[in-house]
Amino acid sequence: MNVGVAHSEVNPNTQVMNSWGIWLAYIILVRLLHVVLLSIPFFSILVVWTLTNVIHNLAMYVFLHTVKGTPFETPNQGKPRLLTHWEQMDYGLQFTSSCKFLSISPIVLYLLASFYTKYAAHFLINTASLLSVLLPKLPQFHGVRLFGINKY
Amino acid sequence: MATVAEQWVLVEMVQALYEAPAYHLILEGILILWIIRLLFSKTYKLQERSDLTVKEKEELIEEWQPEPLVPPISKDHPALNYNIVSGPPSHKIVVNGKQCVNFASFNFLGLLDNPRVKAAALASLKKYGVGTCGPRGFYGTFDVHLDLEDRLAKFMKTEEAIIYSYGFATIASAIPAYSKRGDIVFVDRAACFAIQKGLQASRSDIKLFKHNDMADLERLLKEQEMEDQKNPRKARVTRRFIVVEGLYMNTGTLCPLPELVKLKYKYKARIFLEESLSFGVLGEHGRGVTEHFGISIDDIDLISANMENSLASIGGFCCGRSFVIDHQRLSGQGYCFSASLPPLLAAAAIEALNIMEENPGIFLVLKEKCERIHKALQGISGLKVVGESLSPAFHLQLTDSTGSREKDVKLLQEIVNHCMDRSIALTQARYLEKEEKCLPPPRRRTGESRAHNQGGGPGCAALGRVLGPGGQPPRSTHTGLCVTAL
């Protein structure tokens, strides 16, 4: 095995967002998404920015706040089976640096999107998708499942 | 051209900023303030509020008295008065220097001192040495292990088998490998201690049903079904298991396997069968309780047994479909994190399997002996036989209890000593009283050996004589008798 690779982490999902490699990959992916959308000829700049914002927020919502559990067996008898990835991060510690990074990046994207849509178009869609991604990150919403959706 | 267009767009953008609607700008302002707040907030843990003030905490700390390292115990605690066995335990055993008929060891097929088994073990000892010095995943897998797994799978007619190096750890590792937090396990009240520890390690919801009472089990399954209908999404992610033993160690009774299989298919639960006492005992070829009842082995999801009873080795195995057993190679804690079975014991087990396959007549002999000794012990005043007539391990229970467990235990100990004076070795069935979920009443355990063919007759008679008049006013406690066949 490779040297320095072994870890004794019970649930590696909790530490995956802390590596700077993930942060860089995340930024590159968002830019890649934006460039791909820009290269579609019949989308105007307004639509492209709104789409970037919406698709990014949708993907973030699905991967961080909808999918539960781990794709591997953990030795703690299934404790994180009902927790989303956001709730698993750092074992439930609030306001860690990766939390802050992941909270700030949709806001930054929103600010850019509203700048580029000239503050006139697509206000509701952008704001709604931003809220859908910001609200689950609040510590008051830790473990909350509204209307029993996604509980089990 | 491109830069001009860009600048033009930029100028327009900035102009748009000045003409932006107020609510939008206010929202953006709030968001920027939110970013600043995030950047400056400290990390903290979501805590459950503790309602104790500092003063109360100090008080509690002052009050605490450490327990003594060695608790005060009475002089006649069994751990202080033990019997010393010298020499190998076959159908005769030398206890405290005295040779006794061995009714205490679980040596069902009498293979403990079989010369073939001993020769195989010695040859393996010369070839491999004593231990394996490693778990199965780290240079601890020898060809004898793979051989034994293969032979066991072929013998039980399943796809695959997996070996553990300690019998207790077999079922205690198998259960938590499949059943996790949030899953439901229906288990018999008389389940042995190993099963209880496995269930405790699994953190699943345990539902106990009365011993061998299929109506009670069906009631529990029905209740679970109604709850599932109320919450189908939760039901889809919950796994259900039924854990039973073939021959129960604590009561010597058989589990009603045909009804269990029917319930399994009706309520969609999986059956884990623990066959430690019935492997090598029941069935025409010794394949256990499935062969005894004529049920296809594919109906049972996992069979787990220890090799310490019939196979005269150490360790345990689980067998079943490859899909099921393969999971334990990474999730079975006792498999991955313990050293593997010493190769000499694996070789002894293989030889024992050879013997079992070559003469299937020994199972009939064992059965006869069990029935004989059961009949012979029926009429003793004050003691009743607890267990089926075909069970080689059964218990002698006092018919009426004195009322207190210690007195019963003391009385039984007297009976055991009495028997020992007359060269019959019996033991009391011991329980960790504080740890058992459903503590059986104290009893004496007997192990009948196939070896008792000559000693069998006189042994039974001797036992009957000893226990008959030796019985004081009836009490109910158990002592276990293990019948081993030779």
pLDDT tens for each residue of B327-368? 999 999 999 999 999 999 999 999 999 999 998 999 998 889
Question: Domain B81-106+360-467's class?
Answer: alpha beta
Write down the pLDDT at residue B468: 47
What residues in chain B have their Cβ under 8 A from chain A's Cβ atoms?
9, 12-13, 16-17, 19-21, 24-25, 27-28, 31-32, 34-35, 38-39, 41-46, 176, 180-182, 201-203, 231, 233-234, 236-237, 330-331
- A122 → chain B, closest CA residue: B24
Q: Are B407 and B398 in contact (CB under 8 A)?
A: no
Write down the pLDDT at residue A130: 94
Give B209-258 as a DSSP string: E-TT-HHHHHHHHHHHHHHHHH-HHHHHT--EEEEEESB-TTT--B--HH
* DSSP classification of residue B339: B
Write down the pLDDT at residue B119: 96
C-alpha–C-alpha distance, residues B309 and B278, integer Å: 9
Position with higher pLDDT, B116 vs B42? B116
- Considering its fold, how many domains does chain A have in total? 1
The distance of A104 to chain B (nearest Cα, Å) reads: 6
Mean pLDDT, range B216-234, rounded to an integer? 94
C-alpha–C-alpha distance, residues B427 and B443, integer Å: 9
Q: Report residue B323's pLDDT band, with 50, 70 and 90 as the boundaries.
A: very high
C-alpha–C-alpha distance, residues B88 and A126, integer Å: 81
Q: What is the 3-state secondary structure (H, E, C) of B49-78?
A: CCCCCHHHHHHHHHHCCCCCCCCCCCCCCC
Q: How buried is B70 (Cβ within 10 angstroms: 0-12 exposed, 13-18 middle, 19+ buried)?
A: exposed
Residue A11 lies in a domain: no
Q: Which of B465, B419, B431, B426 shows the shortest CA–CA distance to B448?
A: B426
Mean pLDDT, range B422-438, rounded to an integer? 78
Decide if B202 and A107 are in contact by the 8 Å CB cutoff.
Answer: no
Q: Which of A76, A86, A94 to mutate to test the interface with B (most CBs of B within 10 A)?
A: A94
Among A57-71, A81-95, B1-15, the least confident range? B1-15
The distance of A99 to chain B (nearest Cα, Å) reads: 9
The distance of A49 to chain B (nearest Cα, Å) reads: 14
- B21 → chain A, closest CA residue: A119
Mean pLDDT, range A11-29, rounded to an integer? 94
Domains B81-106+360-467 and B115-358 share a fold: no
Q: Which of B460, B435, B441, B437 shows the shortest CA–CA distance to B449?
A: B460
The distance of A70 to chain B (nearest Cα, Å) reads: 14
C-alpha–C-alpha distance, residues B460 and B483, integer Å: 11
Q: Which of B181, B202, B203, B239 to mutate to test the interface with A (most CBs of A within 10 A)?
A: B181
Write down the pLDDT at residue B298: 92
Query: Domain extents for chain B?
Result: 81-106+360-467, 115-358
ipTM of this complex: 0.82
C-alpha–C-alpha distance, residues B39 and B35, integer Å: 6
pLDDT tens for each residue of B290-321? 999 999 999 999 999 999 988 889 999 999 99
Residue A24 lies in a domain: no
Residue A8 lies in a domain: no
What Rg do the C-alpha atoms of chain B give, in angstroms? Answer: 31
- The model's pTM is 0.77
pLDDT tens for each residue of A70-84? 998 888 888 898 899
Residue A59 lies in a domain: yes
What residues of chain B lie within 8 A of the CB of A111, using their CB?
28, 31-32
What residues of chain B lie within 8 A of the CB of A83, using their CB?
none
Residue A152 in contact with partner chain B when CB distance is under 8 A: yes
Of the candidates B35, B181, B330, the beta carbon closest to that of A79 is on B181
Q: Report residue B50's pLDDT band, with 50, 70 and 90 as the boundaries.
A: low
Residue A116 in contact with partner chain B when CB distance is under 8 A: yes
Decide if B234 and A151 are in contact by the 8 Å CB cutoff.
Answer: yes
B-contacting residues in A 50-79 (Cβ below 8 Å): 73, 77-79
Write down the pLDDT at residue B48: 63
Mean pLDDT, range A39-52, rounded to an integer? 91
Residue A87 lies in a domain: yes
Of the candidates B21, B44, B202, the beta carbon closest to that of A94 is on B44
Residue A146 lies in a domain: no
What residues of chain A lie within 8 A of the CB of B36, using their CB?
none
C-alpha–C-alpha distance, residues B155 and B350, integer Å: 11
Mean pLDDT, range A21-33, rounded to an integer? 96
Q: Which fold does the domain B115-358 belong to in CATH?
A: Aspartate Aminotransferase; domain 2 (3.40.640)
Write down the pLDDT at residue B8: 54
Write down the pLDDT at residue B7: 52
Decide if B44 and A142 are in contact by the 8 Å CB cutoff.
Answer: no
C-alpha–C-alpha distance, residues A84 and A99, integer Å: 14
Residue B28's identity, in one-letter code, is: E
Instruction: Count chain A–chain B contacts defined by CB atoms under 8 A.
Output: 80
CB atoms < 10 A from the CB of B444, how many? Answer: 27
- Residue A120 pLDDT > 80, yes or no? no
Residue A82 in contact with partner chain B when CB distance is under 8 A: yes
Q: Report residue B15's pLDDT band, with 50, 70 and 90 as the boundaries.
A: confident
Write down the pLDDT at residue B444: 75
Decide if B24 and A119 are in contact by the 8 Å CB cutoff.
Answer: yes
Residue A81 lies in a domain: yes
Write down the pLDDT at residue B479: 47
Decide if A118 and B24 are in contact by the 8 Å CB cutoff.
Answer: no
What Rg do the C-alpha atoms of chain A give, in angstroms? Answer: 17
Show the domain range for A59: 44-141
Write down the pLDDT at residue A149: 86
Among A24-33, A101-110, B392-401, the least confident range? B392-401
- Residue B463 pLDDT > 80, yes or no? no
The distance of B27 to chain A (nearest Cα, Å) reads: 9
**Most confident range, picked from B98-107, B267-276, B451-460:** B267-276
Position with higher pLDDT, B450 vs A69? A69
Decide if A152 and B233 are in contact by the 8 Å CB cutoff.
Answer: yes
Of the candidates A45, A81, A94, the beta carbon closest to that of B43 is on A94
Decide if A119 and B20 are in contact by the 8 Å CB cutoff.
Answer: yes
- A117 → chain B, closest CA residue: B13
Among B71-85, B196-210, B470-484, the least confident range? B470-484
Residue A4 lies in a domain: no
Among B20-24, B75-79, B143-147, the least confident range? B75-79
- A137 → chain B, closest CA residue: B38
- B13 → chain A, closest CA residue: A118
pLDDT tens for each residue of B131-165? 999 999 999 999 999 999 999 999 999 999 999 99
Q: How buried is B423 (Cβ within 10 angstroms: 0-12 exposed, 13-18 middle, 19+ buried)?
A: middle
Q: Are B380 and B123 in contact (CB under 8 A)?
A: no
